[in-house]
């Protein structure tokens, strides 16, 4: 199955890779607009409700997330499953965060969101919205990490 890049962002943070690693989880959750009823199931799994406005319609999407491919302090990924309208709108994506200290006290960060499975209806109606959401979330993560560094 072919994957589709939803968003990809590179930036620098004025902190060590270890500090970025310690901050990034909290920063991600605080940078997700519209996420409600977050429930941490265990150290690697969570679920939530994601509220979006698409054109004139308010949508509620069930969100499930699983932390995978963790290699502190260099990389981790989150497998996300989103579903709405009784399963008519579905998206499965993998979001990967890679941190590499490029010099003492400076870390390069890459954020990449890839759609693994995308329903036809989702692609037709919500792909642009998903791309905008991912880009704005990555920008918010960058700003928050730079503020905290």
Contact 90, 118 (CB under 8 A): yes
Q: Is the pLDDT of residue 1 over 60?
A: no
Distance CA 17, CA 10 (A): 14
How much of the chain exceeds pLDDT 70, in percent? Answer: 93
What one-character-per-residue DSSP string does 126-139 give? HHHHHHHHHHHHHH
CATH number where 94 lies: 3.30.530.20
Q: In the chain, what percentage of residues exceed pLDDT 90? A: 57
Task: Please give the C-alpha separations between residue 123 and each of 32, 35, 117, 119, 149, in angstroms, as whole numbers.
Answer: 21, 21, 10, 6, 37
Nearest residue to 109 (alpha-carbon basis) of 8, 11, 4, 5? 11
Q: How confident is the model over 88-112, as a mean pLDDT?
A: 92
Do residues 113 and 134 make contact, with C-beta atoms less than 8 angstroms apart?
yes
Confidence of residue 79 (pLDDT cuts 50, 70, 90): very high
Instruction: Give the residue among 104, 90, 147 at the shortest CA–CA distance from 18.
Output: 104
- Alpha carbon distance 124, 119 (integer Å): 9
Q: Quick one: pLDDT at residue 22?
A: 93
Q: Kindly report the CA angle at 95 between 136 and 142, in degrees rounded to 5? A: 40
pTM: 0.88
Domain with 92 in it:
4-148
More confident residue, 29 or 97: 97
Number of domains in the chain: 1
């Amino acid at each position: 199955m072919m994957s589709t890049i939803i968003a990809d962002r590179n930036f620098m943070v004025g902190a060590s890779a270890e500090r970025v690693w310690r901050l990034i989880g909290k920063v991600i959750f605080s940078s997700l607009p519209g996420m409600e009823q977050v429930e941490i199931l265990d150290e690697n799994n969570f679920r939530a409700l994601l509220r979006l406005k698409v054109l004139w319609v308010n949508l509620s999407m069930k969100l499930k997330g699983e932390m995978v491919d963790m290699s502190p302090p260099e990389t981790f990924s989150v497998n996300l499953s989103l579903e709405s309208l009784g399963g008519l709108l579905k998206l499965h994506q993998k979001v990967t965060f890679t941190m590499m200290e490029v010099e003492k006290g400076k870390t390069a960060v890459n954020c990449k969101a890839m759609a693994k499975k995308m329903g036809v209806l989702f692609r037709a109606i919500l792909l642009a919205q998903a791309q905008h959401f991912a880009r704005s979330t990555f920008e918010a993560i960058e700003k928050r990490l730079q503020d905290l560094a």
